[in-house]
Structure 1
Amino acid sequence: MEFGFLPSTDLDTIDFSLPEGDDSILPGQASPDFKFYFGAARWGRKEWVGTLYPERLKESLFFDEYLKHFNYIELNAVFYQLPKADQVRIWAEKAKPYPDFKFTPKISREITHIRRLKNAQAATNNFIEVISEFGAALGPCFFQLSDNFASKHFDVLEEYLVSLPEDFKCNVEFRHPDWFEPEVFRRITDLLTDLNIGLIITDSAGRRDVVHTSLTTDSVHIRFNGYSNHPTDRQRMEAWRDKILNWKAKGIKEVYFTLNQWENDAFYVSQLTAREVFKDLLV
């Protein structure tokens, strides 16, 4: 959550308007299969007990309660430690009563941050094998490249992405600023479009370059970092509602919207605001 952080006193100085972006990949007419997914990065937040979760709820039941409120989980925890296949099957079984629920796991740091996409085939195969146990509940996984993985490593990235199975649905999050230089950005969006890989949009106050609003598939993953319910949170959500409704009219099929808060105890009010703003999408 430190990525793009600014003190709240600076927020009123930021231009939060969304850029036009390139959505030319969309067919131009609404899809009957459109789905808006809304969730958080983790379900195990003790700060939510007594607000989002009932008082005295046991930690072992956090996910069961989470399923009642959201239709997807970003599942950041697997970035740090890949679970056993048996554990994945348990989570998938819990989600079965909610047939529209999706898991969008974050690719292991062994692959992205330790191996930096080199000599990572065995680790990738293992990750895919374990995560596939989610079955029909598996949404697109996502790669978060490290802050110092710059565009000089383009060839490494291309070689790795080309090696992925064609049926492995995934998105990529870039953090180093030079990926967003116009020439490099065109090059990477062309590559991702050719490979049918999504380009994550991260909305943080201190890094407006990563709020690019360009699409490389008909599915998009938006990572929204709120600021403890500062008035700009709602303004930014409203801008995203309008952008998503525009994409919906043009034929986007899936939108995954992850809500984060710098302070976890601010999440309850934040998700209530999001439900109000996105009420026309949460159907």
Structure 2
Amino acid sequence: MAARTTSPWGTRLGFLALAATALVTFFPIYWMLMTATMPTSLILARQPALLPHPGLFSLDAFWGALARKPFLLWTLNSLIIAVASSAVSLFVAVLAGYSLSRWSFASQRLLAASLMLGKILPASLVIIPFFVMFSVGGLLDSYGALVLANVSTGVPLAALLMKQFFDRVPRELDEAAMLDGCSRLTTLGRVVLPLVKPGLASCSVYLLLMSWSEFLFARTLISDVNKRVLTVGLQSFAGEYLVDWPALMAAATLTLVPIIVLFIFLEPFLVSGATSGALSK
């Protein structure tokens, strides 16, 4: 069978499409850096400069954001909430996805559809029931309230994602492990989970991003200033009559650092997951 060849024009068009996509994707980050390091008058001009002026470059906005606001405390709170929410959500999603994959019953599709319903509902629709429920339970102004709210919105899609990865693992492996004396949970932990590491990485990234960037729940359920997260803290840079754009963009840029580190750490698993998905039948 003859190998398929790609024309030079097709390759060039592909590179141009990738370059255009990268430009559109990274331009907001570039403009955040420009706003944080260039004078506000230059950024807010009628014809703003797209390229930085070396003589006007300054990091004062970064130092100001760290000095005037409890940015490190916000970061610590966000890390606690994001890690706790992601860990609980991933644990529940793994069990739910495995059960949906391994047990077939008549109402399975209905159950899967009900999971998606939890993701389709907007957060503004469920925030009032959450507020009332946590107020009665005495959980307002606590990490637990925000963790439970994030888990309720993150588990549905994560469970369905994990189901797709579990479906790729042959059921014969489960049966062989249980014939050797393993329980169902032992089979899941020692046999199946090592084969779906890309799925675990993908769900972890999704859950961490969702918890890290969540605003509405954090703004409504947490009023203690010492428990604010980054998304709520960034709002304090916008005053009633004035917005401190350099400090706001500097703080927003710093919030990207943990996400970039996360992607660097999990990138091998994400790439292997995409490759296995492309090669699977």
Higher percent of residues as helix: 2
- Is the structural similarity TM-score above 0.5? no
Q: Which has the larger radius of gyration?
A: 2
TM-score between both structures, scaled by the size of structure 2 = 0.24
Higher percent of residues as strand: 1
